[in-house]
Amino acid sequence: MPLSSHPTPEMEADSLENYFTSYEDVEIHRLMVSDAPRTQAYADAISKNKHLFNGKVVMDVGAGTGILSLFMAAAGAKKVYAVEASGMAPLIQKVSVDNNFADIIHVIHDKVENVKLPGDEKVDVIVSEWMGFYLLHESMLNSVIYARDNFLSDSGTMFPSEARIYACPCSLQSLYEEQITFWDNVYGFNMSAVKGFALKSKTTKPEVWLVSESDLLAEPVCIKSFSLKWVPGDEIKFFTSTTFVGITRSGPYQGLCLWFECDFDGRDYDEDGNEFGSLVTLSTSPFSPPTHWKQTVIVFGYGASQSQPHNLECDEENGANGVETDTQNSKNTEGNESQTKHERVQREKKDDCENKTEQNSAQKVKTDARETLTDFNNLVEEDEVVGWKLAMSQSEENVRHYTMTVEMLDPEESEHPMSCPCPNPRCLIIAKMLEQEMEDMELIAEVDDCIN
Ligand code: SAH
């Protein structure tokens, strides 16, 4: 059922129009819906937490083909507002009719920022699949925060309820072999001269890549977490995280692997203190079945050693996520497209013609890329400590764009965070003290409980 809407000027940018047009490609929706770990996580989160949906008014922000709205209607929702800005919206209406949910699912063909609910109605749950590469890339999160601040009741629930970004040092031998050493022998010709350019092009943008568990060189660290119910818009504008970890598997330290997890926490307690409802987690980690997000890797170029701190700046505003390396002084300014969920799916479609693309980008790189590749192996040993500072900042002009900066840190010279998982003696002692403090606090809480 179409509802009235009120445009807000800040969302009228042309770039957003293109963004929504990109979602009118039904193949993108097929690829998302057929991503089983993704879609099943939503199905489970809703069906295993029916108490949140049964008889409730809910909102699906960015409903696409309406699959999440159907899950909610099937879980007994009284009313589902399916908000979709792209031309897919009329299809949701048809799908609702075909599944006998025409009276339940109310389609709003507009940006959520323009929506006005009748009588300023509030909803009990907001469900959305807003996540991009390494969580924030694309940043539909702003729209979800807008929906929360304007339509969620005070006691309402956000699904997902929590999102976390993880990072881990990794080796990238498979990427190296497929895309760099490929040039050693091309139709019987030695084209290894191209390798330097090829590696350089890899270090000029984060790569979406499937990293295997065995390529991780340390225990993953959660570098940022957001509670969707409470995160202020400001907190996703800019953040940094400084991390030191101990290497647990010796090998070539060739990049940082990033991924995200989302929790759907519907657990609650009844009057007798019995827990009900479920916690469902959608994980895009190398330990979980692959999703269309894969993982994102920041590929270090040659010279990324501990003794020689190395800075990367991944400028998402250049679309292809240009990376600036201060040691090599090169910046990718090629391409001006914005990477969206559309692109992450398009990327899969492009797999077949990747070699051609490689050749094109290699041609565009400056000639100073013809440098030695030997340091790319940057071997690290078990128990060695490595550190980095990662910063993500949202563009002021376009909130869907982020600039990512990675700075390698010298573990001897740089200050470690208070709670640091690395095996430096000082960090181990602090970790032990914090653990002891936690245990003491739990004991005090238990004693308090007994007394009361
Ligand atoms: N919920 C669907 C589609 C997810 S893709 C599914 O799970 O399969 C995200 C969708 O959100 C796209 O269809 C896009 O057009 C829509 N979208 C993004 N930002 C939006 C906004 N501000 N208002 C309304 N729809 C939006």
CB 138 within 8 Å of CB 18:
no
Ligand 1, residue 63: give the atom nearest the CA: 1
Which residue range(s) make up the domain with 195?
164-421
Residue 266 pLDDT exceeds 50: yes
Q: Is the same domain home to 224 and 96?
A: no
For residue 147, tell me if it sits in a domain: no
Q: Is the same domain home to 283 and 361?
A: yes
Measured distance CA(334)–CA(317) in Å, rounded: 11
Average pLDDT taken over every residue of the chain:
83
Q: pLDDT (tens digit, 9 = 90+) per residue, 91-118?
A: 999 999 999 999 999 999 999 999 999 9
CA-nearest of 145, 125, 45 to 81 is: 125
What pLDDT sits at residue 328?
30
Q: Is the same domain home to 170 and 121?
A: no
Q: Is the same domain home to 310 and 443?
A: no
Specify the residue for token string 């498979």.
174
Q: Report which secondary-structure segment, H or E, holds 314.
A: strand 311-315
170-207-111 Cα angle (round to 5) = 125
CA of 84 to the centre of ligand 1 (A): 6
What pLDDT sits at residue 345?
52
HSE, CB side, 13 Å, CA atoms: give it for residue 413: 8
Residue 450 pLDDT exceeds 50: yes
Claim: this prediction has a pTM higher than 0.75: yes
Q: Is the same domain home to 201 and 99?
A: no
Query: Catalytic: 129?
Result: yes
For residue 154, tell me if it sits in a domain: no
H helix runs in 299-340, sequence order = none
Largest CA distance in the chain: 81
What pLDDT sits at residue 14?
55
- 3-state class of 386 per DSSP? strand
- 3-state class of 159 per DSSP? strand
Residue 244 pLDDT exceeds 50: yes
CA of 23 to the centre of ligand 1 (A): 8
Confidence of residue 120 (pLDDT cuts 50, 70, 90): very high
CA-nearest of 15, 11, 24, 8 to 316 is: 15
CA of 402 to the centre of ligand 1 (A): 19
Q: Is the same domain home to 101 and 179?
A: no
Strand ranges (E), 11-148: 57-61, 79-83, 105-108, 123-128
For residue 146, tell me if it sits in a domain: no
- Strands 105-108, 79-83: pairing is parallel
DSSP 315: E
What pLDDT sits at residue 331?
26
Q: 341-349 vs 26-33: helix axis angle to the nearest 10?
A: 90
Q: Is the same domain home to 397 and 443?
A: no
Q: Which of 14-23, 32-41, 152-161 has the lowest mean pLDDT?
A: 14-23
Per-residue pLDDT averaged across 269-287, rounded? 97
Residue 64 pLDDT exceeds 60: yes
For residue 145, tell me if it sits in a domain: no
Q: Is the same domain home to 116 and 176?
A: no
Q: Is the same domain home to 406 and 429?
A: no
343 lines ligand 1 (CB under 6 A): no
HSE, CB side, 13 Å, CA atoms: give it for residue 237: 6
Q: Report which secondary-structure segment, H or E, holds 285.
A: none
Query: Who contacts 165 (Cβ-Cβ below 8 Å, separation ≥6)?
Result: 134, 135, 136, 222, 223, 224, 225, 258, 259, 260
For residue 38, tell me if it sits in a domain: yes
HSE, CB side, 13 Å, CA atoms: give it for residue 329: 2
Measured distance CA(186)–CA(319) in Å, rounded: 30
Out of 145-154, 366-375, 393-402, give the one with best mean pLDDT.
Answer: 145-154
> What is the b/e burial string over 147-186, where b = at least 16 CB atoms within 10 angstroms of the residue's CB?
bbeebbeeebbbbbbbbbbbbbbbbbbebbeebbebbeee
For residue 16, tell me if it sits in a domain: yes
Measured distance CA(96)–CA(217) in Å, rounded: 48
Residue 263 pLDDT exceeds 80: yes
23 lines ligand 1 (CB under 6 A): yes
What pLDDT sits at residue 202?
86
Rounded to the nearest 5°, which phi and psi values hold at 58? -130, 165
Strand ranges (E), 109-254: 123-128, 152-159, 162-170, 207-209, 221-227, 238-246, 251-252
83-86 LR contacts (CB < 8 Å, sep 24+) = 83/59, 83/108, 83/110, 83/111, 83/112, 83/115, 83/147, 84/108, 84/109, 85/20, 85/23, 85/109, 85/110, 85/111, 85/112, 86/20, 86/21, 86/23, 86/24
CA of 97 to the centre of ligand 1 (A): 20
Rounded to the nearest 5°, which phi and psi values hold at 173? -60, -40
- Strands 295-299, 207-209: pairing is antiparallel
Q: 67-74 vs 36-47: helix axis angle to the nearest 10?
A: 30
Specify the residue for token string 């293109």.
18
Q: Report which secondary-structure segment, H or E, holds 263.
A: strand 255-265
Number of structural domains found in the chain = 3
Q: pLDDT (tens digit, 9 = 90+) per residue, 342-388?
A: 555 555 544 433 333 333 332 222 323 334 455 567 899 999 999 99
160 lines ligand 1 (CB under 6 A): no
Residue 12 pLDDT exceeds 70: no
Q: Is the same domain home to 191 and 115?
A: no
For residues 368 and 419, which has the higher predicted lDDT (pLDDT)? 419
Specify the residue for token string 């290497």.
247
Q: Say if residue 160 is preceded by a cis peptide, omega within 30 of 0.
A: yes
Q: Is the same domain home to 237 and 288?
A: yes
| Residue 366's CATH number | 2.70.160.11
Q: pLDDT (tens digit, 9 = 90+) per residue, 185-234?
A: 999 999 999 998 898 888 888 899 999 999 999 999 999 999 999 999 99
Identified catalytic residue from 84, 113, 129, 358: 129
How much is the CA Rg of the chain, to the nearest whole Å? 24
Q: Report which secondary-structure segment, H or E, holds 53.
A: helix 50-53
Q: Which of 39-53, 162-176, 240-254, 394-408 has the lowest mean pLDDT?
A: 394-408
Q: What is the residue with the minimal CA distance to atom 11 of ligand 1?
A: 62
For residue 140, tell me if it sits in a domain: no
Q: Is the same domain home to 207 and 90?
A: no
Query: Catalytic: 138?
Result: yes
For residue 90, tell me if it sits in a domain: yes
Confidence of residue 5 (pLDDT cuts 50, 70, 90): very low
